[in-house]
Structure 1
Amino acid sequence: MNILVAYFSASGITKEVAESIAKVASEFVSDSGESNEAGESGKFGKVEFFEIAPKVPYSKADLDWTNEQSRTTIECKDKASRPELTQTIDITPFSVIIIGFPVWWYNAPHIIFSFLESADFSGKIIVPFCTSGGSGIDPAPREMQKLAPNAIVKGGEKFNFGANKSSIRRWLASLNLEQKE
């Protein structure tokens, strides 16, 4: 079983958490001690890391949630908005896709929906996580399931502005990633 840790981060916070998750997942799945560039190979396979990035990067002004005319406010109010991605990734080799994002307007940013619509997630296990100082992860997992109806969306997790390895380990262990239910 190969794991992809894909993330979108506008400020760098979600990237830091995603890096920690990828590192812990590498340790979690490894039982062989053999490493490679993408991560650790072990009983489940390997862990790879991928940035979900917008073709047009977000500026500080774009991220101003107090401005009704900011790019992110406009995108979040338009349910059909799908920011264009800089690149896509072939998800075929991965059984598990862990997807991270900051919470924007009580949901996942629409670039996450662009990512989910960029590939066929049928038969894949999707595990969402978010970063937020206050809001929880819901309703993002339900929205993700709608966009990937033939995938299994596991329970998501919210991390505050720092995630320690022991909490990540507990979370990954609780997911029973070998089980597609």
Structure 2
Amino acid sequence: MANTLVLYYSATGTTKKVAEEIAQKLNADIAEIHPVKPYSNEDLNWHDESTRATVEQKQEHDGRVPIKDDLPSLDNYDNVMIGHPIWWGIPPRLIAATIDKLALNGKNLATFGTSSSTGYDRAQSNIERTIKENNYEVKLNRGDVLNSQSAIDNWLASLNF
């Protein structure tokens, strides 16, 4: 699988480990998505309704969290993967901001999440809505939660890259 870029956001290191494994298996390039304002452990406390991440995730569908303008160009890639944790059933709001900034037309796109308790259905709907909002012409593969070696292997085998 040539010409593949794995982009990921990881707050705690879990998604980073999965992204690195995927990049290694596919001999793909890898790059991290950086929020303009990094998240502290306190920001991520999902038990507290007033924390930054909780407030952000409960925004309307078009909510965005700004990211640094350091994404790589997609000119040399046919396939793009975006990995993220799942917060409150959906990707962090900075993933929509990332999709907004990427030149995805004509690309094969696959997204994956990491979670110990949530499936990917709501995350998939969220990604699909963001792609539609941007009027991208992409081939979107079905995303999945990758929380085990077999989940990673099965998901990679299912891709239409």
Q: TM-score normalized by structure 2? A: 0.88
What is the RMSD of the two structures over their aligned residues, measured on CA atoms?
Answer: 1.5
Q: Indicate conservation of the 8 Å contact 1:95/1:124, yes or no.
A: yes
Give the corresponding residue for 1:29.
none
Distance 1:84 1:176 in 2: 31
Gaps (5+ residues) in structure 1?
27-46
Q: Please, which runs of 5 or more residues in structure 2 have no aligned partner? A: none
1:85 aligns with 2:86: no
The one of 115, 132, 140 aligned to 2:123: 140
Greater helix fraction, Structure 1 or Structure 2: 2
Question: Match for residue 44 of structure 2?
Answer: 63
Task: Point out the structure with max Rg over C-alpha.
Answer: 1
| 1:108 is aligned to 2:91 | yes
- Percent sequence identity over matched residues? 35
- Secondary structure at the aligned position of 1:117 is classed as helix
Distance 2:41 2:114 in 1: 18
| Distance in 1 separating the partners of 2:58 and 2:124 | 18
Runs of 4+, deviation exceeding 4 Å: none
Deviations 1:45-100 (A, max 9, x none): xx210101101100011001111110001111112332211222211221111111
The match for 1:39 is none
Q: Indicate whether 1:94 and 2:77 are aligned.
A: yes
Q: Residues of 1 paired with 2:152 and 2:11: CA distance?
A: 21
Once the two structures are TM-superposed, the CA of residue 168 in structure 1 deviates from its matched residue by 2.9
- Number of aligned residue pairs: give it: 154
Counterpart Cα distance in 2 of 1:68 and 1:142: 24
Contact 2:10/2:84, CA 8 A, preserved across alignment: yes
- How far 1:167 moved relative to its partner? 4.7
Q: 90-99 or 14-23: which moved more?
A: 90-99
CA positional deviation for 1:170: 3.5
